[in-house]
Amino acid sequence: MKHDIVAPLVGESITEVSILKWTKQNGEQVKSGDMLLEIESDKATVEIVAEKSGALTILKPAGERVLVKSVIGFIDDAATGTVSSGAPAGAPPKVPPPAPTSTSAPSIPPPAASNTSNVVDLSPAVRKAVVENNVNPAQVQGTGKDGRITKGDVFAYMAALAERKQPAAVISNASDKPGDRRVQMPMIRQRIAERLVFAQHTAAILTTFNEVDMKPVMDVRAKHKDAFEKKNGVKLSFMSFFTRACTLALKQIPAVNAMIDGKDFLYHDYADVGVAVGTERGLVVPVVRGADKMTFAEIEKAIGELALKARNGKLSIADMSGGTFTISNGGTYGSLLSTPILNPPQSGILGMHKIMDRAIVIDGKIEVRPMMYLALSYDHRIIDGKEAVTFLVTVKDLLENPSKLGMEFA
């Protein structure tokens, strides 16, 4: 019996995924539980394992983009497979292409003049989306539970419809010459680009700057780092100090921890802090949930685990969803000053930078101190300049007076 391998549904609004690589050869014998391939969406990388034992047949090669729920291969439990001679992992079999099925890319007919009559079974948010955009829900492929239509499905349908109405972009090869090479943009990179442009076009982004004397934090860290690591099994880094400082400042200035939802301001009485992590496939922002309730050790462990998953491509959609505020540490790469861009739908992001010795005046005397520039980018639609500056000054004050951070390890 043949058992289909189906491209997984990895998120409500995701309709397409890319096959990163097959870890098994076409025709190879696989066992239940073996990892077969890695799938990349615009948000995360997902591993697919074999649910049955048998001979593997690959229908879609590595690098190909496929619709979610489409068949990309199958396992025949009645056959005994062997490694195909000379066939690289991910190579499709030399068989006639399968007949089109319901999982093939559907044609997208234009919306009818009146098509909102069958919306009674939709959720209020989806019903509003189809009515306001004159979309016929019968033409939308549902990716929710039991095939239900989500709000993301409606927007994906509209985007696909708009794309088909646009003429294909013309890419000139005139500038290509020996030494040039084209590489297909990964889906996660495309998603990053879309979100950055979206943030620039939809939010009123401003950035305010300040600088912090890092000597007090560095002194505390030097004093306690060995005992902290011995007790907790993780290093005491600057990120836990900044995360704690931000969560305390967010409680004082709740607008920085809020977001705009339609015509409403949505405030959060908790802090789920996103921590930007650079990976080979692009920047990802896993979320430390309930950071405002965590100890220094819990923050360090959470950040360490998420960073490791990010670099290994193991982050899930849940790991990167639902943040209320973000911290980005460009100083890791030597950045002295930058203007971080918002991570929609959040309204604030703090940029950390390189610590650098500079001459500053303290009590009328010139001293050399390890200084760091801080940058807070914020959405001026919800956060006033006074609130943004107050937030940044509060973070600065907490870091320059670390005893205010409630250092339970001290």
pLDDT digits (tens, 9 = 90+) for 115-126: 444 455 687 777
What pLDDT score was predicted for residue 142?
76
Distance, CA of 14 to CA of 41 (rounded, Å): 7
Residues 43 and 12 sit within 8 Å (Cβ to Cβ): no
Lowest mean pLDDT among 66-70, 182-186, 391-395: 182-186
Residue labelled with tokens 């709740």: 254
Interaxial angle between packed helices 215-232 and 385-400, expressed in degrees from 0 to 180 and rounded to the nearest 10? 70
Give me 386's structure tokens.
Answer: 């006074």
Tell me: the pLDDT tens digits for 291-337?
999 999 999 999 999 999 888 878 877 888 889 999 999 998 999 99
CATH number of 203-405: 3.30.559.10
The pLDDT score that the predictor gives to residue 96 is 46
Please state the separation of Cα 410 from the chain's center in Å: 35
Q: Is the pLDDT of residue 143 over 80?
A: no
Residue 170 is predicted with a pLDDT of 44
User: Is 18 in a helix, a strand, or coil?
Assistant: strand
The overall pTM is greater than 0.75: no
Rounded to whole angstroms, the Cα distance separating 355 from 352 reads 9
Query: Hey, what CATH class is 124-165 in?
Result: few secondary structures
Inform me whether the pLDDT recorded for 221 exceeds 90. Answer: yes
Q: Does the structure show a pLDDT above 50 at 375?
A: yes
**Confidence check: pLDDT of 111 > 70:** no
ω into residue 344 within 30 of 0, thus cis?
A: no
Task: Give yes or no for residue 105 having a pLDDT over 50.
Answer: no
Show which residues are catalytic.
Answer: 380, 384
pLDDT of residue 99: 44
Q: Which two tokens stand for residue 367?
A: 């001293």
Mean pLDDT of the chain: 83
> What is the model's pLDDT at position 83?
60
Angle between helices 215-232 and 238-252 (to 10 degrees): 110
131 CB-near residues (< 8 Å, 6+ apart): 116, 119
R_g over Cα of the chain: 25
pLDDT at 197: 86
Enumerate the CATH 3.30.559.10 domain ranges in the chain, comma separated. 203-405
Task: With a cut of 60, say whether residue 263 has pLDDT above it.
Answer: yes
Q: Which of 51-60, 162-171, 196-205, 365-374 has the highest mean pLDDT?
A: 365-374
* Residue 383: both structure tokens together: 């956060």
Task: Measure CA of the first residue to CA of the last residue in the chain; give whole Å.
Answer: 64
Is it the case that residue 141 has pLDDT exceeding 80? no
| pLDDT of 97 over the 60 cut | no
179: which DSSP letter? T
**pLDDT at res. 243:** 97
**Residue intervals in the chain for CATH 4.10.320.10:** 124-165
DSSP summary character for residue 95: S
Residue of higher predicted confidence among 267 and 164: 267
Report the pLDDT averaged over residues 128-146.
76
* Mean pLDDT on 360-366: 94
**Fold annotation for 2-76:** OB fold (Dihydrolipoamide Acetyltransferase, E2P) (2.40.50)
The listed range with the strongest mean pLDDT (43-47, 174-178, 184-188, 308-312) is 308-312
Residue 365's H or E segment, with its range, is strand 365-379
Determine phi and psi for 282, rounding to 5 degrees: 130, 180
Among all chains, which residue has been given the structure tokens 């991570």?
A: 343
Residues in contact with 154: Cβ distance below 8 Å, sequence separation at least 6, in sequence order: 126, 129, 130, 133, 135, 137, 140
CA dist 322 and 340 (Å) reads 19
Q: Residue 38: which pLDDT band, with cuts at 50, 70 and 90?
A: confident
Region label for 243, one of left (φ > 0), alpha (ψ between -120 and 50) or beta (otherwise): alpha
Which tokens sit at 53?
A: 């034992």
What residues contact 21, with CB distance under 8 A and at least 6 apart? 37, 38, 62, 89, 90
* Higher-scoring residue by pLDDT: 61, 194: 61
Of 62-66, 284-288, 312-316, 320-324, the range with the lowest mean pLDDT is: 312-316
Q: Indicate whether 171 pLDDT > 50.
A: no
Say if residue 106's pLDDT is above 50.
Answer: no
Strand segments, DSSP code E, in 23-117 are: 29-30, 35-40, 45-49, 54-58, 65-67, 71-76
Model confidence at 78, pLDDT cuts 50, 70, 90, reads confident
> How many other CB atoms sit within 10 Å of the CB of residue 158?
18
Please check the confidence at residue 371 and state whether its pLDDT lies above 80: yes
Is the C-alpha dihedral spanning 187, 191, 193, 197 positive or negative? positive
**Token reading at 348:** 């604030």
**115: Cβ contacts below 8 Å, ≥ 6 apart:** 134, 135, 136, 137, 138, 139
The whole-angstrom separation of Cα 269 and Cα 254 is: 8
Q: What is the pLDDT of residue 230?
A: 95
Q: Does 242 score more than 90 pLDDT?
A: yes
Domain with CATH 2.40.50.100 in the chain: 2-76
* Residue scoring higher pLDDT (90 or 297): 297
For residue 346 the two structure tokens come to: 């959040």
The whole-number average pLDDT for the span 221-242 is 95
Arithmetic mean of pLDDT, 44-56:
87
